[in-house]
């Protein structure tokens, strides 16, 4: 169980860190938003810490992102902190993902990559809303990424099931259907603000994160 939880967390933290890096370096954000965004990175530092027993290489992004967060101002600032450390942490995060995937095989690695998009995007969306980001484009783009990632997850699970023996594939049918059902429910909750044409609420996104996280866990349990 812990292995699956750590795998979901690793994928979510890596994806969210990539999105927050993009927002921090390329987004048109004010000094107040920049400071709040720096605070959000601490959640990712905690996430990396959780995954270290599952993936020892996670200690590298944990340390580098922790130093970046310590040296970044949490108040109003126009400085993005030690950006090279942030890039180094991103690179170490990719390394941690690849090294954990090497032990599992090709299909689990592909499934993990789709979870980087799915769980990472919803995690980033939660952190951006919590940081009161005013980048409205991300409120539309991130749910769309989630839809695409859910489709990639479905395709990967289908291919993986086809490669198994008939008896083994039949035993996984319920798990696959449960995973896809949860992913669909989570994405619908996530994108509900687009249907209502309102701004996303943190409670809505947290519910979506929990549901999608469970879907990801069920999907990974079929492959790992």
217: number of Cβ within 10 Å: 20
Residue 119 structural domain: 2-223
Instruction: Give the tens place of pLDDT for each residue, 6-55.
Output: 889 999 999 999 999 999 988 778 888 899 999 999 999 999 999 998 88
For a pLDDT cut of 70, what percent of the chain falls above it? 95
Looking at per-residue pLDDT, the higher value among 129 and 3 belongs to 129
How far is the C-alpha of 137 from the C-alpha of 176, rounded, in Å?
A: 32
Instruction: Provide the pLDDT for residue 182.
Output: 93
Instruction: Provide the pLDDT for residue 76.
Output: 84
Confidence at 213, pLDDT banded by 50, 70, 90? very high
Of residues 211, 26, 66, the one with CA closest to residue 34: 26
Of residues 114, 100, 25, the one with CA closest to residue 57: 100
Which region among 101-105, 157-161, 204-208 has the lowest average model confidence (pLDDT)?
A: 101-105
Instruction: Give the tens place of pLDDT for each residue, 127-174.
Output: 999 988 888 888 889 999 999 999 999 888 888 777 766 766 676 778
How many Å is the Cα radius of gyration of the chain?
17
- The number of distinct structural domains making up the chain is 1
Instruction: Provide the pLDDT for residue 167.
Output: 66
> The CATH number of the domain where 46 resides is what?
1.20.1630.10
Average pLDDT taken over every residue of the chain:
88
Confidence at 111, pLDDT banded by 50, 70, 90? confident
């Amino acid at each position: 169980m812990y292995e699956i939880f750590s795998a979901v967390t690793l994928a979510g933290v890596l994806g969210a860190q990539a999105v927050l890096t993009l927002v921090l370096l390329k987004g048109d954000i004010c000094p107040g938003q920049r400071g709040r965004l720096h605070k959000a990175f601490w959640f990712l530092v905690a996430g990396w810490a959780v995954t270290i027993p599952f993936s020892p290489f996670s200690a590298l992004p944990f340390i580098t992102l922790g130093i970046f967060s310590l040296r970044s101002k949490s108040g109003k600032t126009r400085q993005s902190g030690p950006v090279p450390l942030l890039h180094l942490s991103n690179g170490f995060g990719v390394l941690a993902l690849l090294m954990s995937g090497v032990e599992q095989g090709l299909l689990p690695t592909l499934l993990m990559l789709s979870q980087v998009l799915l769980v990472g995007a919803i995690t980033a969306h939660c952190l951006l809303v919590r940081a009161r980001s005013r980048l409205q484009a991300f409120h539309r783009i991130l749910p769309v990424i989630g839809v695409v990632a859910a489709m990639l997850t479905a395709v990967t699970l289908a291919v993986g099931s086809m490669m198994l023996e008939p008896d083994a594939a039949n035993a996984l049918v319920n798990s696959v259907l449960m995973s896809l059902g949860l992913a669909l429910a989570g994405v619908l909750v996530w994108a509900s603000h687009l249907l209502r044409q309102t701004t996303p609420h943190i409670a809505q996104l947290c519910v979506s994160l929990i549901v999608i996280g469970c879907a990801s866990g069920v999907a990974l349990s079929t492959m790992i």
